[in-house]
Structure 1
Amino acid sequence: MNKPCRILLFAKAPIPGKAKTRLIPALGARGAGALQAALLRHTLTTVAQTRLECELWCHPDSAHPVFSALAREFGVSLHVQTGNDLGRRMGYAAGADRHRPAILIGADCPSLTAWDLREAALALEADQDAVLGPALDGGYYLLGLRRTHPSLFEGISWGEHRVLAETRARLRILGWRWRELSARRDIDRPDDLPSLAAYPHLETLIRAFT
């Protein structure tokens, strides 16, 4: 019997000046931190609809009160990201339980749906080695893995537009089968902010965290 997928949600603590730094020129440090917290809660609400186990991987640690509050509200376990760059942190988390498929996501993509997550889980539990959710900026908003390999996390141009292309190339070299989901927009830069108009509840959440 296939073991059920686990969702690994990666998030920075919503500390003003440390979170969503590319958005500080548009929102200010406090506003960017509040947006980070709002997006995290929004993403956990989406994840909860799947009924899949979720682990919240926190950076730089799990001590922030927002993490504790959300863990209680959504029943997720807290873990501390380990590694000196994003790739190492993702690789560590993905390899923490090698006997179960993992779906790695961030809190940057409000258009992520519960069906995206279910589709990824079904693909991994069937015959796919990996699942990619392409982001419009050239990265990805989701990486599903039935098994893991260091090459998927090492030597990748994190934060650049080549991340998706480089990951596809690594999957081809490995000879893995993978499925791709619909392309979606991450909220990383000021140019992405107008797309938040599609999610009016986020404004309420932002005020709550400000």
Structure 2
Amino acid sequence: MPVKPPVQPHLHLLAKAPLPGQAKTRLIPCLGPEGAAQAHDSMVRHCVATACQALGAQHVTLWTSLEHQHPLFLELQARYGISLAAQQQGDVGMRVRHALNSSQGPAMVMGTDCPSITVAMLKQCSAALENVPVVILPAEDGGYGLIGTHDDHPSLFENIPWGTEQVLNVTRQRLAALALETTFPATMWDIDRPEDWQRWQQTLKYTSTA
């Protein structure tokens, strides 16, 4: 019998509209409301471009919040041909789980404040899901920037201390309780604080001159 080719995972990106005062608020002390919104805009653009390059636009959905018809979202849809969908109401876990369960087959979810996730990392995660039930990109701050699964595992997303340094530890405990083999291909970092933004600007400066 012919061997079936591996199923390409679908990647779901979660993004707020870049509204001043509502996006990347922890960057406001150094960038101001408009600057923080512009920073968020640039991160969303970067992450969508990376996702499409890694997996192809037909395998990417951008899940929107705050303003679903924001010009940024419509521009990205027109440019790349990605799908748009409105985020589920609820906490991070509910929104991530809803996105994962919205597509058939393996799926991955990541935020759009994670520009340190590269094309190579996404391809690693996609390949890893061929062999294990769960893939995670741990974050330096104790959370994670991407999770991929084949099936619905509610306990991975319920009663998790989102936004704290305990997210990954608690998730690992849940994975162990479910006896789910998991791979962690690489460590990433996200942009929450002014020093993270400055680090990203230095990274961009380095890559542009390298």
Which residue is 1:56 aligned to? 62
Which residue is 1:113 aligned to? 118
- 67-76 or 51-60: which moved more? 51-60
- Aligned residue pairs total 200
The TM-score, its normalising length taken from structure 1, stands at 0.90
Which residue is 2:90 aligned to? 84
Where does 1:188-203 land on structure 2 (aligned, <5 Å)? 188-196=192-200, 197-200=202-205
- Structure 2 counterpart of 1:114, which letter? V
Which residue is 1:175 aligned to? 179
- Cα distance change of structure 1 residues 60 and 140 upon mapping to structure 2, 3 Å threshold: same
- Structure 2 counterpart of 1:92, which letter? H
Kindly report the root-mean-square deviation, in angstroms, between the aligned alpha carbons of the 2 structures: 1.6
Which residue is 2:108 aligned to? 103
- Cα distance change of structure 1 residues 80 and 118 upon mapping to structure 2, 3 Å threshold: same
Deviation at 1:26, TM superposition (A): 1.3
Distance 2:105 2:153 in 1: 14
Alpha-carbon displacement from aligned partner over 1:26-47 (angstroms, at most 9, x marks no partner): 1111111001110011111111
Q: Which runs of 4+ in 1 moved over 3 A?
A: none
- Structure 2 counterpart of 1:60, which letter? L
Deviation at 1:51, TM superposition (A): 3.2
- Structure 1 counterpart of 2:105, which letter? R
Deviation at 1:122, TM superposition (A): 0.9
Note if contact 1:130-1:146 (Cα within 8 Å) is conserved in structure 2: yes
Deviation at 1:85, TM superposition (A): 1.1
Secondary structure at 1:96 match in 2:
coil
Give % identity: 40
- Structure 1 counterpart of 2:63, which letter? W
| Residue segments in structure 1 that go unaligned for 5+ positions in a row | 203-210
Secondary structure at 1:49 match in 2:
helix
Distance 2:160 2:67 in 1: 24
- Structure 2 counterpart of 1:33, which letter? A
Distance 2:36 2:87 in 1: 21
- Structure 2 counterpart of 1:118, which letter? K
Which residue is 1:69 aligned to? 75
- Structure 2 counterpart of 1:133, which letter? L
Deviation at 1:61, TM superposition (A): 4.2
1:94 and 2:111 aligned: no
Distance 1:94 1:122 in 2: 17
Where does 1:9-158 land on structure 2 (aligned, <5 Å)? 9-52=13-56, 53-97=59-103, 99-125=104-130, 127-158=131-162
Distance 1:40 1:201 in 2: 20
Distance 1:181 1:42 in 2: 21
Deviation at 1:23, TM superposition (A): 1.0
The TM-score, its normalising length taken from structure 2, stands at 0.90
Distance 1:60 1:169 in 2: 33
